[in-house]
Structures are given as structure tokens and as C-alpha cells.
Amino acid sequence: MALESHRLNPARRYALILVDLSVGFTDPLRSRLAFACDDVIAANQRLLAAFRERGDPVFYTTVAYDSPAQAYVFREKIPALNDLVAGSELVGIDARVAPRADEYVIVKHAASGFFGTDLAQRLRATGADGVVVSGLTTSGCVRATALDALQHDLRVLIPYEAVGDRDQDAHAANLRDLQIKYADVADLDACLALLGA
């Protein structure tokens, strides 16, 4: 029997969380963690423009390590994460979606943008009761961040063009599961229309 699932009520104010749009995940010529994602970058450029025009909050996450003790089991599982050295070019946000001076970059060590960070407090300080989650990768850090956002009682919206994954089967399966249980997944135009409602 299918699980009953409802569309969430719209948030009063959304914040944008751009998950791991760092060079380490967006530039396959410089990083073994990255994959071609120009279409995802383009969708995020549209999102950023809409949020900036409205004056709504924008947050970024990036993964960076400066100690062997940080997330050592995660790094054991995925050794390529060791390339994400704090201060290196790989942990910088892709210039195509670069943050402005008033947009905060959360440095994280785990999959979720919330785990071990002050993201929840920063979101609450803006008055946001919902988040638009975008970025990379759908089956990993996007999913983990979206799930934790819901667990902080934030309404979660995911524009499917603005997320990506190196594994298309995982991408589709995770979007489907997120839609059923944790978030509203919609096309970018619908998400932008909801922001302006």
C-alpha cells in the first residue's frame, strides 16, 4: 500500500541553501569528486537571482577538512574526500555562483549542512520557516541537508533542475523518496512562482 503524502503548506519566508557547489564537486578537470553539471549551475544561477532580487537569505555549504580527526569514518568510506583540504581551491564555491559578501558559507565535515554547524540558528535568525535546497549531490549531501531541515521543522522545497548526481538512478530514486517523505520536489519555474506568491 502506498504511503499517504501531502504537499506542504508554503513557508512564510524561504531561505536558499546551495549545497556543495564548490569546485571540488563542479569541476571534473580539477577534482575526482566532480562531474559535469553545467545545467545544475544554470538552474542555481536563476535561483540566486530570484532570492537576491527579493532580499531573501542565501546560505552556501562547502566540505573542508583541516584535521585527520574530522569525519574520519566518512573519509575512510570515500577517500576522495581527503582532497577537500581547507583553504584549497577545491573547497571554494564555483565562481559561476559565487557568494556575495553578505551571504554566509557554512563549512561542514559531514553530509548534512546542519550536522555540527550553526546553520539552524542562522536560518532562524533570518525569520525563515522554509528552505529551498539545491546543489550537489542529490543522493548524498542534498538529501542529508533536506532531511535535517525537515527535522528542524523547516518546510523544504527542492527544484529538481537545481540538484544533480553523478548516478542518475540514485538521483531519480532519491528525489522520489524525498518527495514522498520529506520535501516538495517541483520544477524550477513552479518553485520560483511559489517564492513570489
- Would you name the residues annotated as active-site residues? 141
How many C-beta atoms surround the C-beta of residue 62 within 10 A?
24
- Point out which residues pair with 104 in neighbouring strands: 59
Report angle CA 173, 178, 184 to the nearest 5 degrees: 125
CA geometry: angle 107, 108, 113, nearest 5 deg: 105
Tell the residue number behind the cell numbers 537571482, with chain if given.
49
- Say if residues 162 and 196 touch (Cβ distance below 8 Å): no
Distances, alpha carbon 7 to alpha carbons 4, 41, 144, 150, 151, in Å:
10, 27, 20, 13, 17
CA distance 174 to 58: 24
**Three cell numbers, residue 128:** 525563515
Best CA proximity match to 30, nearest among 83, 97, 108: 83
